[in-house]
Structures are given as structure tokens and as C-alpha cells.
Chain A
Amino acid sequence: MFPRLRLLVHIAAKHLLVRRRQTAVAVSGVAVGVGFFLAVSAMMVGSQTDFVKTLIDAAPHIIVSDELRSPRPQPGVAAFAKEGAVELHGFKVRTEVRGIKDWQEMLREIDAIPGAIASPSLSGAVTMRLGGRDEALAVIGIDPSIESRVSTISDKLRTGRLIDLERVQGGVIIGEDQAQRLGLGMGDVVSATSARGGTRSLRIVGLFKKGQQVGSGVGYMLLREAQSLLGRPFVINRIGVKLADPYSAEDVAARLEARHGYKAQSWQERSADFLGLLVTRNVIMYTVVSAILLVASFGIYTAVSNSVTDKKRDIAIMRSMGFSQGDLQAVFVMEGMALAVAGVFAGWLLGYVLMSVLGSLNFSIQGEVRHLPLDRSSRQYLIAASASLVAGIVAAWLPARKTARVDPVDILRGAV
């Protein structure tokens, strides 16, 4: 078997080396296909990874809020359930105190998950009043040392630090556009009024950058001070959870919700629409780049097809010598494989160069220098190689079948 294979490889190699130009064209076709596949998919996958990372990090992986997905059963319904009551009318709906009730226990439970951090917070609406102007502000009370580990809000600060909230009595961090609107700067004092609490003086200790989701109309305060400003001592209504593995968020959220009843929203649930878009985007990308690879394999088809046509006489003479049809098909399929393999290696090189060029480009977004996010994993190289090899073998096999139709008798008698 082995000497036979070696002989067939020898013949295939000779065919390719004699027809250098056609070989070069077919190889460069595959190389360009593989190279651009790598460049395009690196950008697409890279930007997607970048996007998902932004999506994951934009907010805690899971947000538990004091909302319920469906109202709690009323005590009356529960009481008469045994008697077979199906519906009850005219009972007085019990007033529930808003807020997460068993939050301390919930925090302990989340902290028991390895690598998980839970940050309790209380949010509520206040009105900032300055010089006769009213401005609504959603206040979020946090524990700065925990919150900074759960979310990325500290990265979004233009000036000040999150920890300054603990140092300054009544400290607050608001968005820089809002501060600008009110004519406020660092260290300025503004009064804030809530519906149930009283009025307090707040001192600005930090400003969020413009154009960030977190910054507009939102003010961060110390949890304790927010509770007192909003008149809801010891109450929290939101727990942000960060997990070691963001992709387990859905399971953990479902578990928390089943246990405690409060709505626990994972980042996947929050951004289901975006994730759906990504699927569409991937389908489009792989369709386009597969087309590139497919077109590249046409070069192999042409090269092998021409080779078979040119070599009809040699096919006939080899048949008369005692080569089988399988031998000759194998010769031409191997020619296609060799073209594909050479093309893949050249394409890897081209792709690597393209990626290096793309990676070195600088883009300026809002004064920040950024590079294109690129996925340079070996996975892309392997996908490109295997797709090209399969396409190349098929593209060679189709014309190689023609060798079976070469009738040695016709050729040997009529040939010149």
C-alpha cells in the first residue's frame, strides 16, 4: 500500500510542478479565501466577544429586585384553599411593605457560591433643588467597597472615587452632564428632597463621564444615607450579583427566584434581544466567509479538471500499463488536496499578516485611542483549514471522476 501511495503522490506532484502557473493560481485562490476568512472572522468574533463582555459587565450579572413576577397569593385564598374555594371576592388586599425582606439571608446564600459577590442597594427617587430649579434624580444607595467589585461604575467616573462616598457626609456622585445643567461642580452642595423622608444637603464628590448609561439622572450615595434620605431605614430593594462564571447567571438567577420569590434577572434575560441579534450576525458572517472559501475551491476544480483533460493520453497509457481507475482518481484528488493544503498554509500566513495590520490600526472614539477587537484564536485557523480542505477535496474529486470515462482504446488508437 505504501509504495503505491508514494508512486501516486510522485505522479501528482509532477503534474503540479509541470503546470506551475495554474498551480500558483489555484493555490493563491485558496490562500486569499483562507486569509480573508481569518481576517473577517477575527473581526466579527472579536467584536462580538468585546460586545458581549460590555454587555455582561455593564451591570451585575444578576439583579434581584423587590418585584414579583406574579402577585403573592392573598392570605384569604390560602386560608380557604382546603375548602375548595376557587375564587374569592371582596377581601381587603394586604398592604405589603416594598423591599426585599429576607435580604441578609439571601446575601449569605449568594456569598456561599464560590467567587460570587452580592451587593445590596436601595434605589428611590428624589428631587434636587437648586436656585428654584427642580431636577429629578434616581438615588442608588450602595456599599462602595462591595459595589466596586460587582459593577464597573468606578471605571465610568470622570473625577472622584467611589470610596469618597464614605469619607464625606452626604456625599453623592452624579452625571457630569446633569451637573453641568445645574451649574454644579465638585464639592458643591445641593439639597435633595424625597417623598417619604426629609430634605438633606448633598455634596458632590464625583462625576460620571458623559454618554454613559449609568450617569444620566442617577446619583450614587452611601446605602445608609440613601435609606435615611428615602425614609426607608434598613430596607434594600435590589441586590446586584457578580459571578465567577457569567454564563452560569441564568441558572443561579432561576435558583434564587425559585427560593425567594423575588424577580432575579440574569444578564442573558436582560439582553435577550441583543443575543438574538448576535445569532443572526453569526449566520450572516459564516454564510459570507463560507462563500469566499467555496469560490476559492473553484480554482482547484479548474486546475484539476484541466489536468485531467490534458492528461487523457497519460491516463490511457497508465491504464494499459496496469494502473486501476482508483489509482488515477487518487492521483487527481491528491493534486486537489495538495493545492488545498498549500493554499491553507499560504492563507494562514496571509490571514496572520492581515490581522496584524488590522490590529495595529488606531481608532479614536471620544478622545480615547482604541484598537479593533480581534479574535486570534487557533480555532479560526482550524475552521478555515478544515473548510478549505473539504471544499478542495470535493472540488478535485468531481473532475477526477472523469478519469473513469477515459476509454484507453479510443485514446491509444487515435492518439498522436
Chain B
Amino acid sequence: MLVAEGLTRELPGDPPVTLVAGADLAIEPGKFTAIVGPSGCGKSSLLYLLGLIDRPTAGRLLLERRDVSPLSGDERARTRLERFGFVFQFHFLLPEFNALENVMMPIRRLGRLSLAQAEARARELLGFMGLAGKAEKSPDKLSGGERQRVAIARALANDPLLVLGDEPTGNLDSVNSARVVDLFRSLAHEQGRAVVCVTHDPGIAEVADIRVSMLDGRISEVRRQG
């Protein structure tokens, strides 16, 4: 579904700093892919390249066999809006809006649903995350685990093909972590989405279908598990 061919990201400078060097990787639907490696190995940089947030300096990125690296900023934004959902280490909810409004944000921006339909969809997602009773709460009234689940609901708002997580459990206790991991697995296995997670957490790495190890900006190993 999403294929990286020699994906490279360098920071300009003297000498230039290479964040990701010649990464070849195929992200598949229905699979939970974990990217692991020591700090500073470039795993987050690779995730941002895959998620069209950052631009590669070399190589190609094919989304359903179409090269998306030369797209304009607005076209990349549109692709993120329609196809991708992000979950970060920090929940990154907009503090002025309650949980429901945060989840509705991408749906409203896409503009395919009416306001009432968007609200119904957001409530459904919050219900799926076990947060049906907290829809009207503002983010600072929610616990860490609840916030992260609101963030996941927001990532799923436009029914994305690809869900990208950057240390999504990095700030959670073990109970909430396990819950998020289960959720991510079910997104892949039951809903057929492609799920990619950057993680330090060996627990996540172990349950992933595909485990991508990185070292010094290069992919050192791709292992299919289970």
C-alpha cells in the first residue's frame, strides 16, 4: 500500500546530517508494523517521511503505486486528511476544544459529512474507545490514558487507511499501554488498516506483525513475526 524506495532525509549543513538513509520498506494493510531502534537512529524521521509530514531529500514514496514525494504542500495535507491518522507520544489535543470537538476537527475539515453526521461519527468513535461519557469534557479534565484514546479516536476520524503512531504509549502506564496496543492490533487485524508504530517498548515490538529495526538511519532488519 505504501512503499518506500531508497527514502533518504538529510539535513542541510556542513557536513550534512543524514537522518534516514536509503530506506526500503513496504507497509501493508491489515498488518501492525513496529519500527524499533535506539534513540536517534532515525525511526521517528522515517515515520514523518512515511506520514507525508516531512519531505525526503532522495528516494521515492509510493502510495498505492503513485509517487507522492513530488506533491505540493496542500496536496500532501489533503492526503494526510483523507488517508492518514497520527497518534503521538503526547496527546496533542487542542486545549480550547472538548473531546468531542477534537475528534470532529478532521471530519469537519474534510467536509464530507454534515455537522450532525460528524458529531454522530465522533461520538461513535469515542464510544468505541470507551469514552462515551466523556465527550463534553475538555482535555485537561481527562486522565492521560483517556486523552490518548481521544487522540486515537481523532486519528481514526476520517477512517484512514494508515494509522501512524510515534511512541503512542510513551507517556502511559502499563495498563493504559496494554489497552492502546490492543487497540492498535485490532485496527490492523479487525479493521484491515495499515498500522505503523515507532516505539521503544519491547512489549509492542513483540506483538507486532512486522518488526523493522533501525540503526544509524538505516533499516538493519525487517522481521515478520507470529
- Report whether B109 and A409 are in contact in the complex, using a CB–CB cutoff of 8 Å: no
Task: Select the stretch in B86-94, B120-128, B177-185, B211-219 that faces chain A.
Answer: B86-94
Q: Which of A18, A313, A408 contacts B53 (CB 8 A)?
A: A408
Task: Verify if B77 is at the interface (C-beta below 8 Å from A).
Answer: yes
Q: Residue of A at shortest CB range from B55?
A: A409
- Which residue of chain A is the closest to B92 with respect to CB atoms? A317
CA of A214 to CA of B105, assembled, Å:
77
Indicate if A3 sits at the interface (CB-CB under 8 A): yes
* B167 nearest CB across to chain A (Å): 10
Q: A325-B74, A326-B74 are in contact. Are A320 and B51 (CB under 8 A)?
A: yes
Q: Which residue of A lies closest to B106 (CB)?
A: A321
Q: Does B13 contact A (CB under 8 A)?
A: no
When the two chains form their complex, are residues B48 and A322 in contact, meaning their CB atoms are under 8 A apart?
Answer: no
What B residues does A322 contact at CB under 8 A?
77-82, 84, 106, 109-110, 158
Within 8 A of B (CB), among A369-416: 408-409, 412-413, 415-416
From A14, which residue of chain B is reached at the shortest CB distance? B96
Chain B residue at minimum C-beta to C-beta distance from A413: B44
A323 to B86: give the CA distance in the assembly, Å: 13
B111 touches A15 (CB 8 A): no
How long is the Cα–Cα vector from A319 to B84 in the complex, in angstroms? 12
Question: Looking at chain A's contact residues, is the secondary structure mostly helix, strand, loop, or mixed?
Answer: helix
A66 on the B face (CB < 8 A):
no
Tell me the complex Cα distance, A415–B167, Å. Answer: 13
Contacts of B48 in A (CB 8 A): 409, 412-413
Task: Judge whether A324 and B74 touch: CB under 8 Å.
Answer: yes
In contact, A412 and B82 (Cβ under 8 angstroms)? no
B 43-89 contacts with A by CB, 8 A: 44-45, 48, 51, 53-54, 73-74, 77-82, 84, 86, 88
Contact A320 to B111, CB < 8 A, known contacts A409-B48, A412-B53: no
Shortest C-beta distance, A302 to chain B (Å), equals 20
**A92 at the A/B interface (Cβ < 8 Å)?**
no
Judge if A57 is at the interface, Cβ distance under 8 Å: no
- From the candidates B45, B95, B114, B154, name the one contacting A321 in the complex (CB within 8 A): B154
Q: Is the CB of B88 within 8 A of A412?
A: yes
Give Cα distance in the complex from A314 to B166, angstroms.
17
Chain A positions within 8 Å of B84 at CB level:
322
Contacts of B115 in A (CB 8 A): 3
Question: Are A412 and B166 CB-contacts (below 8 A) given A3-B115, A322-B106?
Answer: yes
Q: Is there contact, CB below 8 Å, between A3 and B111?
A: yes
**Residues of B with C-beta under 8 A to A18:** 95-96
A321, B111: Cβ atoms under 8 Å? no
| Cβ–Cβ < 8 Å partners of A324 in chain B | 73-74, 77-78
B73 near A325 with CB under 8 A, answer yes
How many Å lie between the Cα of A15 and that of B95 in the bound state?
Answer: 10
CA distance A181 to B108 in the complex (A): 89
Residue count of chain A within 8 Å CB distance of chain B = 28
Interface membership of A111, Cβ < 8 A = no
Identify the closest chain B residue to A4 (Cβ): B111
Chain A nearest CB: distance from B99 CB in Å? 15
Instruction: Identify the closest chain B residue to A416 (Cβ).
Output: B90
**A408 to chain B: closest residue by CB:** B53
Cβ of B44: which chain A residues have Cβ within 8 Å of it? 413
> Smallest Cβ distance from B107 to chain A, in angstroms?
10
Residues of chain B within 8 A (CB-CB) of A257 are none
Q: Which residue from chain A places its CB closest to the CB of B83 in the assembled complex?
A: A322
CB-defined contacts of B108 to chain A, threshold 8 Å: 3-4, 6-7
Most chain A C-beta atoms within 10 Å of own C-beta, residue among B53, B90, B92, B114: B92
Q: Which residues of B contact A416 (CB under 8 A)?
A: 90
Query: How far apart are B130's CB and chain A's nearest CB, in angstroms?
Result: 22
A396–B214 Cα distance when bound, in Å, is 44
Does A164 count as interface, using CB distance less than 8 angstroms? no
Task: Give chain B residues whose Cβ lies under 8 Å from the Cβ of A11.
Answer: 94, 96
Inter-chain CA distance A367–B188, complex, in Å, is: 94
Q: In the complex, are the beta carbons of B53 and A321 less than 8 A apart?
A: no
Contact with B along A10-47 (1 / 0, CB 8 A): 01001101100000000000000000000000000000
Chain A residues contacting B78 (CB-CB under 8 Å) are: 322, 324
Bound complex: CA A322 to CA B86 (Å): 10
A143 located at the interface, meaning its Cβ lies under 8 Å from any Cβ of chain B in the complex: no
In the assembled complex, A50 has its CB within 8 A of some CB on chain B: no
Quick check: is A327 within 8 A (CB to CB) of the other chain?
yes
A331 CB to closest chain B CB, in angstroms?
11
A412 to B54, CA, bound (A): 11
Shortest distance between the CB of A263 and any CB in chain B (Å): 72
Report the bound CA distance from A15 to B73 in whole Å.
25
> Does the CB pair B154–A409 fall under 8 Å?
no
Interchain nearest-CB distance for A36 vs B (Å): 34
Within A245-267, the residues touching B (CB, 8 Å) are: none
Q: Are B88 and A319 in contact (CB under 8 A)?
A: no
- List B contacts of A15 (CB < 8 A): 96
A320 near B53: Cβ-Cβ < 8 Å: yes
Q: How far is the CB of A330 from chain B (nearest CB, A)?
A: 12
Other than the given A6-B108, A318-B105, 9 more pairs (CB < 8 A) read A3-B108, A14-B97, A15-B96, A18-B95, A314-B95, A320-B51, A324-B74, A415-B90, A416-B90
A-B contact pairs, 25 of them (CB 8 A): A3-B114, A4-B111, A6-B108, A7-B105, A7-B109, A313-B92, A314-B94, A317-B94, A319-B53, A320-B51, A321-B80, A322-B79, A322-B109, A322-B110, A324-B77, A324-B78, A325-B73, A326-B74, A409-B45, A409-B48, A412-B48, A412-B88, A412-B166, A413-B48, A413-B166
Which 3 pairs of residues, A with B, have the shortest CB-CB distance?
A: A322-B81, A14-B96, A322-B80
Measuring CB to CB, which residues of chain B are less than 8 angstroms from any residue of chain A? 44-45, 48, 51, 53-54, 73-74, 77-82, 84, 86, 88, 90, 92, 94-97, 105-106, 108-111, 114-115, 154, 158, 166
